[in-house]
């Protein structure tokens, strides 16, 4: 089996959070789809709620506190990403946008990304198309064709039902295929020597 990493960003604020519930369903479906392709996914969930203060600190100071830096590094090293935001005031939530505002703008270039959102009403489902897709197009992410939207009515007991189940599985399969067909991500060590010792001495 190949090994790959998946980072799941959940921007829900409630506890329990329907955004987190959708994120968990998507990551479980992605894990199952990847396994069918001979890939084991190592999944890490990042709850933006827990990083809200650190994200603001980064915006104010230009530096990421340790826990935020850890999450940013995990995103950079991930072979694939699932992001889920609640719809707030007909758009993505401010916390969700702020996380990507303080992420290096090249981090997501060519990274497979599955987009998803939760909301109170299905009338705002196009937030995925008019807000999330343009953001990730700017970041040059490789967004999979199927995006997943869950309104309150889509939830039964503790799971999703009906047509939403099919969209989750389809989006997860698309993400797994993109992760499987790529080489694993390698992150360059910023402190690694790029020239030999003799070459360095020549420049003295």
- String of DSSP letters for 91-138: EE-HHHHHHHHTS-TTTTTT-EEEEEEEES-GGGTTHIIIIIHHHHHH
Q: Is 13 one of the binding residues for ligand FMN (CB under 6 A)?
A: yes
Contacts of ligand FMN in 109-128 (CB under 6 A) = 118-121, 124
Residue carrying the six token digits 């935020």: 68
- From 4, 8, 9, 18, residue interacting with ligand FMN (rule: CB under 6 A): 18
List 6's β-bridge partners, or say none: 43, 80
Collect all residues with Cβ–Cβ distance below 8 Å to 78 and sequence separation of at least 6. Answer: 5, 6, 7, 44, 111, 185
Decide whether 87 or 144 has the Cβ nearer to ligand FMN.
87
Q: Rounded to an integer, what distance in angstroms lies between the CA atom of residue 102 and that of residue 194?
A: 27
Asked if 57 and 203 touch (Cβ cutoff 8 Å), the reply is: no
Q: Is 14 one of the binding residues for ligand FMN (CB under 6 A)?
A: yes
Q: Is 89 one of the binding residues for ligand FMN (CB under 6 A)?
A: yes
Q: Is 27 one of the binding residues for ligand FMN (CB under 6 A)?
A: no
For ligand FMN, how many residues bind (rule: CB under 6 A)?
A: 16
Beta carbon of residue 86, minimum distance to ligand FMN (angstroms, whole number): 3
Decide whether 18 or 146 has the Cβ nearer to ligand FMN.
18
Residues in contact with ligand FMN by the rule CB under 6 A = 12-14, 17-19, 86-90, 118-121, 124
């Amino acid at each position: 089996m190949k090994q790959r990493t998946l980072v799941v960003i959940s921007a829900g604020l409630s506890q329990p959070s329907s955004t987190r519930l959708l994120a968990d369903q998507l990551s479980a479906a992605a894990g199952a789809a990847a396994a069918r392709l001979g890939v084991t996914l190592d999944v890490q969930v990042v709850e933006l709620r827990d990083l809200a203060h650190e994200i603001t600190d980064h915006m104010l100071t230009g530096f990421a506190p340790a826990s935020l830096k850890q999450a940013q590094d995990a995103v950079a090293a991930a072979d694939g990403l699932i992001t889920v935001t609640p719809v707030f005031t007909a758009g993505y939530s401010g916390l969700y946008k702020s996380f990507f505002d303080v992420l290096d703008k090249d981090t997501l270039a060519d990274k497979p990304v599955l987009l998803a959102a939760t909301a109170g009403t299905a009338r705002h489902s196009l937030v995925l198309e008019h807000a999330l897709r343009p953001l990730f197009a700017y970041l040059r992410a490789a967004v999979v064709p199927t995006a997943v939207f869950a309104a309150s009515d889509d939830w039964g007991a503790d799971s999703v039902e009906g047509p939403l189940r099919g969209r989750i599985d389809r989006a997860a399969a698309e993400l797994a295929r993109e992760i499987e067909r790529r080489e694993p991500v390698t992150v360059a060590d910023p402190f690694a020597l790029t020239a030999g010792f003799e070459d360095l001495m020549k420049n003295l």
